[in-house]
Structures are given as C-alpha cells and as structure tokens.
Amino acid sequence: MTKTNSRESEYPVDPMFLDRWSPRAFTGAIIQEAELLTLLDAAHWAPSSANNQPWRFIYALKGSEHWEKFVSLLNESNQEWAKNASALIFVVSRSFNGARGTSEERPSYTHSFDAGTAWGYLAIQARISGFYAHGMGGIKHDEIKEKLDVPDGYRVEAGIAVGRIADKSVLSERNQEREFPSQRKPLSEIASNGHFVGNG
Ligand SMILES: Cc1cc2nc3c(=O)[nH]c(=O)nc-3n(C[C@H](O)[C@H](O)[C@H](O)COP(=O)(O)O)c2cc1C
C-alpha cells in the first residue's frame, strides 16, 4: 500500500497515481506553449486500437486571443473556476477508421476508450511537470463543434483545465467545500476474478 495526499492504496502503486487529483483552485499563471505541448506529447504516447491515435486536442493558452472563447465553451459552473486555469483543452476523437470516403472507412468501436487513455496520460504528466489537470464533461459540445470547426465524424469527448494549484480561498464557498482529493471504492467492488462483480 502507498499513502500520500490523504489517500491510501490497497496495493503498492506508484505515489503519482494518488498525487493526481482534480483541484478547481488555480493561480491563473501563464503557461508556456512548450510546457503544454509536453503534456500533449505524453498524451499522444498512449496506446490505441491498431495504433489509430484517434485523439485530437484543441487548446488555448490563458492570455491568448482564443482564451475567452474557450472559457465561454464551458458550462457556467465550470467557467466559474476554470477561467483561472493556465490552459484549456478540448479532447475530440475520430469515430471512424480508415480514409474518409474509401472502402477502408468503418466505424471505430474504441475511439473514446483510446482518447480516455490519452487524457489519463496527460493528467499524470501534468503532475510530473508541476501542474494539475482537471477533466470536464460539463462543456458545450455542439457549440464546440461549430465554433472550433470540428468536422463530422469526430466526437467532442471532454474538456481539460490545466494549471498551477492555488489556495482554495480563491473559490466560491461551494467549491471550497469539495476541494480535496477524493477517495475510491474498495478494489473488491470493481475488480473480480473469473466472473462479473460490481452491479451497483
Ligand atoms: C471525463 C471527466 C469529466 C468530468 N467533468 C467534470 C466537470 O464537468 N466539472 C468538474 O468540476 N469536475 C469534473 N470532473 C472531475 C471529477 O469529478 C473527478 O475526477 C472525480 O470526482 C475524481 O476526483 P479526482 O480526480 O480528484 O481523483 C470530470 C472528470 C472526468 C474524468
């Protein structure tokens, strides 16, 4: 078992997996594009079915001309805190394999799974690089497609806020109350040997 960050694993996992969590309190510090690209580089070393690499990342850096538009593409409850992040990323994935309009084109079963793996890599690299990454399902999917020119056949998966952690006093009272590393279900509820366990 590993203990860090008010978390304790049941088996001896690397502390990095417990150190990664999703704060909402960010400093609003500027991030260099090369620092963000380091996170995206890690993300795109994720494995994917047949090495199709269906993930696409559309990003904006705080202080850039795209920033306000990206903030406006989050749901209001996420805007409230994510506007203080250093970068915002939308993860999009290609939902078909093979070249468009050819006999090779067919639906992908695993594109979202693959893109999720890439997000996980990004979140771990963020910690290694001294940042935190916070995933967001609360985003304006249709508007993102339209305003960021996402073509048909690509699924808008999620948003990611990346930043340097700040004291929780920068948050609203409601968000301050939930600003801590969360716990997990016991492993026995989600992992089973030989047959399915975990319905509930
Ligand atoms: C795909 C995804 C979508 C999420 N959507 C939101 C969101 O819209 N707003 C938010 O504040 N947190 C969001 N979260 C953060 C989760 O609530 C958080 O990861 C979860 O509670 C586990 O906590 P931890 O990441 O601190 O370990 C999201 C996380 C993921 C991975």
54 contacts 114 by C-beta, under 8 angstroms? yes
- Do the domain assignments include residue 197? no
| pLDDT tens, position by position, 110-120 | 999 999 999 99
What is the span of the domain harbouring residue 114? 9-170
Instruction: Give this prediction's pTM.
Output: 0.97
The residues lining ligand 1, judged by C-beta closer than 6 Å to any ligand atom, are: 21-22, 78, 135-138, 158, 181-182
Cα torsion 46, 48, 50, 53: sign:
negative
CATH number of the domain residue 34 falls in: 3.40.109.10
| pLDDT tens, position by position, 35-87 | 999 999 999 999 999 999 999 999 999 999 999 999 999 999 999 999 999 99
User: How far apart (Å, rounded) are the C-alpha atoms in residues 183 and 200?
Assistant: 17
- Do the domain assignments include residue 84? yes
Q: Is the pLDDT of residue 199 over 90?
A: no
The per-residue DSSP string of 54-113 comes to -EEEEEEETTSTTHHHHHHTB-HHHHHHHTTSSEEEEEEEE-EESSTTSTT-EE-SSHHH
Q: Is the pLDDT of residue 197 over 90?
A: no
User: How far apart (Å, rounded) are the C-alpha atoms in residues 90 and 137?
Assistant: 10
Q: CB-hemisphere CA count at 13 Å for 39? A: 31
Count the domains in the chain: 1
Q: Is the pLDDT of residue 200 over 90?
A: no
The predicted pLDDT at position 163 comes to: 98
Rounded to the nearest whole angstrom, what is the distance from the C-alpha of residue 82 to the centroid of ligand 1? 12
| pLDDT tens, position by position, 8-43 | 999 999 999 999 999 999 999 999 999 999 999 999
